[in-house]
Structure 1
Amino acid sequence: MRLQKPSLSFWQIFNMNIGFLGIQYSFGLQQTAINPIFLYLGAPEDMLPILNIAGPVTGLIVQPVIGALSDKTWSNRWGRRKPYFLIGALLGSLTLFAFPHSPVLWFAVGLLWILDVGNNMAMEPYRAFIGDKLPEKQLSLGFQMQSLFVGAGIVLANGSIVLFQYLFGEESLESGIIPQWLYYSFFIGAFLSLATILWSVLKTPEIPPSEKEMLEINKIKSLPLGHKFRKPFFEIMRSIKVMPKFMWKIGAVYLFQWYALFIYWQFTTPLFKLTMGYSTSEAASQAAKMSLTYNIVTMLVALALVPLTIRFGGKKVYALSLVGTAIALFTIPYISDPLFVLAPMVLFGIGWAAMMGIPYTMVSKIVPQDKRGVYMGILNMMIVIPMGIQTLTFGPIYKYLLDGNAINAMLFAGVFFAISAFLAMRLNEKTKG
């Protein structure tokens, strides 16, 4: 018998999602500030993809494992998902504080690995947390609210970069020196990463497991340590074998979507150095303005997508948003005005709002309640595998096929978004019977 969950008020859903603000502030710094730091520390542009491999590798391992573990966890004091995203937030907070102090490139790359472990520990159980708490009729609101906080966190991260670069920005005159103005954004992130998660932890109680789930949890607690360690990996493999066909189709969309997104995030700063003749600091600030713009749009449209998906279906809204994102990337390289180049970010922001909400709503409706954590982890594997492929393959593609030209890289990403939009139209929406 399925558990009948009570409907939550708007502000209860708001409070349970606030923790996403801190997580996404951290991701916002990764999108905009990490690659400039690598450049400051002497990394060549064609090495940027491989230097970002930490995200795909840690996401591939950490998220599904944490998802499987959190499915089989319960503490009367701390709950099921909360312990994991609280530990992840603490790890992320400490790493963000240390990041701008990186003395050399290898040190910064090592910290990125630690930061990604923390962010992935926090991210996956948070996705499952929303599905655990909300009845099916409120899932769309819950995940689009999460999308709103995705935008808000990245807006704050990029807004801080733009502000501090404007107030204190100076180009580093010495190779290997990170400019002081970047420090402040990371310090704010260290605070928000932990504070916002604590807010959600303290404001939102979790639903206790059913008697059947509790029997399974107690059974796992009695297993030898070696069996406990292996069980989540077996759980992941079993779940993949019986995974709904819909998720395989989502995986095809994600292959092109997330490959393209990683190109955009890595090559926006090099693009503006080329098209606008900017220094690294100026190009990083312009990239932050781009991210700031599209995430403001994401905040504004995230909840507006809820009635649209109800009326027209998630598939159509999702596919159309990906078409808009492709158009944005085809346009950006040919605009050399720093103000006008922000206009395509309206389309990008609508696409980002859809990407961060609609697929999770679709998947949450079709997977079993007691497997939601592991399936949200598997969905994340479908994100990080394309990212991993991109980090391993795009360096040579950029250097040898695209002539080391950031304009060509952006157009390449636009083509991949167009392909993902075509594949999204093949999705068939279903719900659990």
Structure 2
Amino acid sequence: MTFKKPTLTFWQIFNMNVGFLGIQFSFGLQQTAVNPIFSFLGAHHDQLPLLNLAGPVTGLIIQPLIGAISDKTWSPKWGRRKPFFLIGALIGSLCLFAFPYSPSLWFAVGLLWILDVGNNMAMEPYRAFVGDKLPNKQLSFGYQMQSLFVGAGIVLANVSIFLFQDWFGGAEVAADAAVGIPKWLYYSFFIGATLSVTTILWSVLKTPEIPPSDKEYDEIKKHNALPMIERIKTPFFEIIDAIKDMPKLMWKLSAVYLFQWYALFVYWQFISPMFEESMGFDKSQALSQAAKMNTTYNVSTVVFAMILVPLALKYGGKKVYVLSLFLTGAALLSIPYIHDPFYVILPMILFGIGWAAMMGIPYSMVSKVVAQERRGVYMGILNMMIVIPMFIQTLTFGPIEKYLLNNSAVNAIIFGGVFFVIAGFLAIRIQDPGADLDDDEPILAGGGGH
């Protein structure tokens, strides 16, 4: 007999997702502050993609492995997913405390690798955690609530950057930038380190996990009884088997993600250098402007995250997702031609609508087409579809930007806009899994191949 998941209240879903605030504050610092820190420590434009290799590599390895391991985990005291995102938050917190004290470029790059391990360890089981708790009819709401916290965390990170520069930078900004990382930037990292742990603890303490079914628990006990070497090998085989059985929706989504996430990585790496080039800002001014723009699009994400829920229910998640990709493409194609910082707000609002959809709708669609007992590994595979394009971008875009795009950050942002438009056309091929259902069985439990 299938277990019927209880319908949760607004505040239960809210509390469940609070931990994303801390994770995304950390991610916001990575988006906006890490690449400028690399520049403060001597990195050149064409080196930025390769210096960001940590994100795709750790995501490719850590998230699917943690997902597969958490599927086979249960502790009556700690649960299934919560131990992993709590440990990940602690790792990320320690790295954020240390990051602004980086004495050299390669020290900062090394810390980014460890920080990404922590963030990825927290991120994947958190995505599965939300899917575990919610009935199908609440999945769209649950993942869009997650989008709201994604936006809020990044908003706070970016607001802290330009406010601390305004409050504590002053005449020392240029001098600080000449010798290393500006002191005013330290405070944002300290806040991020604190939020990383406290918000995760809030969700851990406020949200109990659903115990595994008798069948799942028997599988977990059988797995735990295996010799250690077999237990180590099992997650790798789980990932391979899950890829073989992957629903068609995920195969089609992988093509969209190839262009979408390549373009997003280009944006995060080159938005600050673009403001130096298009508006004549120095590095500190460009960092502050990038923080303001990232704040704008994430405020837009917070505002539109919940608005997208009824739109997705009425018109279908696929149509909303396709439109969001085209809006984001239009935003990136227009930004380089705007020379007044104030008017960049308009495309950033479009970008925020797109980001809200990207952070919610695909996860909701995938959760509806995979089986409960494999949700962790499939959320990890979904992340592989994110980090593989990022990995490709880190290896290929440096030479592309240097030799094909005339070493121009403006051209890099336009390139990203074109890729978003391509992603939009590819998303038209996705079959919408349909409106939220009352039952808790997936529409497709796996299979379907290519």
Fold agreement, TM-score > 0.5: yes
SS state at 1:403 partner: coil
| Counterpart position of 2:68 | 68
Letter in structure 2 aligned against 1:111? L
1:432 partnered with 2:422: no
| Counterpart position of 2:194 | 191
1:166 is displaced (CA, Å) by 1.1
Q: Tell me the distance in 1 between the aligned counterparts of 2:216 and 2:62.
A: 23
Q: Please list the CA deviations of residues 176-226 of structure 1 after superposition, one character each: whole Å capped at 9, or x if unmatched.
A: 510000000000000000000000000000000001111111111111111
SS state at 1:320 partner: helix
Q: Please list the CA deviations of residues 57-114 of structure 1 after superposition, one character each: whole Å capped at 9, or x if unmatched.
A: 0000000000000001000000000000000000000000000000000000000000
Contact 1:172 1:178 in 2 (8 A): no
Q: Please list the CA deviations of residues 236-295 of structure 1 after superposition, one character each: whole Å capped at 9, or x if unmatched.
A: 001001101110000000000000000000001110001111110100000000100000
SS state at 1:387 partner: helix
| Counterpart position of 2:293 | 290
Give the 5 Å matches for 1:80-229.
80-169=80-169, 170-173=173-176, 175-229=178-232
1:338 is displaced (CA, Å) by 1.2
Contact 1:104 1:176 in 2 (8 A): no
Q: Tell me the distance in 1 between the aligned counterparts of 2:147 and 2:383.
A: 15
Give the 5 Å matches for 1:233-312.
233-312=236-315
1:343 is displaced (CA, Å) by 1.4
Structure 2 unaligned spans of 5+: 434-441, 445-450
Q: Tell me the distance in 1 between the aligned counterparts of 2:177 and 2:301.
A: 37
SS state at 1:171 partner: helix
Contact 1:297 1:346 in 2 (8 A): yes
Contact 2:93 2:197 in 1 (8 A): yes
Q: Tell me the distance in 1 between the aligned counterparts of 2:334 and 2:267.
A: 13
Contact 2:176 2:182 in 1 (8 A): no
1:171 is displaced (CA, Å) by 2.1
Q: Please list the CA deviations of residues 298-336 of structure 1 after superposition, one character each: whole Å capped at 9, or x if unmatched.
A: 000001100000000011000001100010001100111
1:172 is displaced (CA, Å) by 3.8
Q: Tell me the distance in 2 between the aligned counterparts of 1:236 and 1:213.
A: 18
> Displaced runs of 4+ in structure 1, greater than 3 A?
172-176
SS state at 2:174 partner: coil
**TM-score for the superposition, normalised by structure 1:** 0.99
1:332 partnered with 2:343: no
| Counterpart position of 1:383 | 386
1:121 is displaced (CA, Å) by 0.3
Q: Tell me the distance in 2 between the aligned counterparts of 1:52 and 1:168.
A: 28
How many matched pairs? 433
Contact 2:176 2:183 in 1 (8 A): no
Distance change >3 Å, CA 176–CA 218, structure 1 → 2 = farther
Letter in structure 1 aligned against 2:97? F
RMSD of aligned alpha carbons: 0.8
Counterpart of 1:230 (choices 223, 233, 242) is 233
1:359 partnered with 2:362: yes
Contact 1:103 1:176 in 2 (8 A): no
Contact 2:128 2:376 in 1 (8 A): yes
| Counterpart position of 2:11 | 11
Q: Please list the CA deviations of residues 390-413 of structure 1 after superposition, one character each: whole Å capped at 9, or x if unmatched.
A: 000000000000000011101100
Distance change >3 Å, CA 228–CA 21, structure 1 → 2 = same
Q: Tell me the distance in 2 between the aligned counterparts of 1:222 and 1:315.
A: 43
| Counterpart position of 2:326 | 323
| Counterpart position of 2:373 | 370
Letter in structure 2 aligned against 1:372? R
1:175 is displaced (CA, Å) by 4.5
Q: Tell me the distance in 2 between the aligned counterparts of 1:88 and 1:211.
A: 29
Distance change >3 Å, CA 188–CA 109, structure 1 → 2 = same
Q: Tell me the distance in 2 between the aligned counterparts of 1:429 and 1:208.
A: 30
Q: Tell me the distance in 1 between the aligned counterparts of 2:56 and 2:254.
A: 15
